[in-house]
Amino acid sequence: MQEGRVHLKEKQFISIIKNLLKSEYIGDDCAYVKDLGIVVSQDSLVEGVHFLLECITPFQLGYKSVMVNLSDIASSGAEPKYLTVSLSLPDNVDADFIKEFYSGMKYACGNGIKIIGGDITGADKIFISVCAIGKTQGRNISSRKNAQIGQKVIVSGVHGSSSAGLKLLKEKKTEPQCLIKSHLEPKAQIEFGKNIGINVSGKYSMMDSSDGLMETLSTIAYESGVLLNIDFDKIPYDKEIERFENWHDLVLFGGEDYQIIATVPLEYQGGIEIGKVEKGSGVDLSISGQIIHYSKSDVDKKIFNHFKV
């Protein structure tokens, strides 16, 4: 729902919090707690902001709440292991909803990940907050600050499908199903993250594209102090989205695909290469025979204006 989730105000608040806490942990999607050998991430889904009950089943909502958080852990390079779930529910939520919701969560967890706790309280609307814990043993943990000049930029899969699916849902359309499914049932790229976390040595950056591909690239470039040179033609997307007038924007700025973006050494096998890490700042995008330069603030402005709710 909340395509404009990268609100400037939220960024301002995060900056205030960073200044106040002076915490070395805050910055990445996951906090890396070395002394305990874990990474920790917490994300919330709010009714009316991130989802509408008429567009998503309780099973899908449970499933997505888990996947969104597993995606953060996967993109740290760690092994997702445990979740706690905080649910705030209006009075009209019944036992059937709870059964379906937790069945969706359980399905998303598969065999390797366990829900170990949380709480349930009342509220006017549904609030879901999931905390995910990953194990770092045997893994090389990523940071958005760690892109190295000379590395290649790789992605785990298609971009634009989720926001195309959201557009269809908003227009009350039911086809193409594959796009709608991308929005309602995203899949955290756990194996992709695992391969990198185990096999890449040395510094590298990795993030999921929850806030959109460009936002992710721009963040890595800014935090690492590098330029990312990206070729639009190499970015994978589902041909079905070409039916949308602004499909380039869906690929570049649409959120919630939960793919992984990483900068890794050239010799790393795996992923789809979309560009290179170079000296400079921001993102250079080769598209339709042109090179468009995006600074951090260009991307922030574009997202704010384009997806303003």
Q: Which residues bind a copy of itself (CB under 8 A)?
A: 2, 5, 7, 10, 12-14, 16-17, 20-21, 23, 25-26, 28, 30-31, 33, 36-38, 40-44, 46, 48-50, 81-82, 84-86, 88-89, 95, 98-99, 102-103, 106, 114-125, 127, 129, 131, 133, 135, 309
| Least spacing, CB of residue 32 vs a copy of itself, in Å | 9
| Least spacing, CB of residue 21 vs a copy of itself, in Å | 6
Q: State which residue, 73 or 264, has the beta carbon closest to a copy of itself.
A: 73
**Residue 63's CB: how many other CB atoms inside 10 A?**
25
Report DSSP state, residue 242.
Answer: G
In the β-sheet with 205-208, what is the strand arrangement from edge to edge? Answer: 205-208, 260-264, 152-155, 272-278, 227-231, 282-287, 290-294
Q: State which residue, 17 or 178, has the beta carbon closest to a copy of itself.
A: 17
| Least spacing, CB of residue 128 vs a copy of itself, in Å | 9
**Residue 55's CB: how many other CB atoms inside 10 A?**
18
Q: State which residue, 134 or 254, has the beta carbon closest to a copy of itself.
A: 134
Q: State which residue, 94 or 171, has the beta carbon closest to a copy of itself.
A: 94
Q: State which residue, 30 or 147, has the beta carbon closest to a copy of itself.
A: 30
| Least spacing, CB of residue 55 vs a copy of itself, in Å | 18
Using CA atoms, how far apart are residues 61 and 45, in angstroms rounded to an integer? 9
Q: State which residue, 132 or 180, has the beta carbon closest to a copy of itself.
A: 132
**Residue 12's CB: how many other CB atoms inside 10 A?**
10
Tokens of 243: 């039916």
| Pairing state between β 152-155 and 260-264 | antiparallel
Cβ atoms of residues 128 and 44 within 8 Å: yes
Using CA atoms, how far apart are residues 28 and 54, in angstroms rounded to an integer? 33
| Least spacing, CB of residue 231 vs a copy of itself, in Å | 32
Q: State which residue, 125 or 173, has the beta carbon closest to a copy of itself.
A: 125
| Least spacing, CB of residue 40 vs a copy of itself, in Å | 6
Cβ atoms of residues 186 and 67 within 8 Å: yes
DSSP per position, 67-119: HHHHHHHHTTTSEEEEEEEEEEE-TT--HHHHHHHHHHHHHHHTTT-EEEEEE
Q: State which residue, 28 or 240, has the beta carbon closest to a copy of itself.
A: 28
Report DSSP state, residue 135.
Answer: E
| Least spacing, CB of residue 16 vs a copy of itself, in Å | 5
Q: Counting Cβ atoms within 10 Å, is residue 180 exposed (0-12), middle (13-18) or buried (19+)?
A: buried
| Least spacing, CB of residue 91 vs a copy of itself, in Å | 8
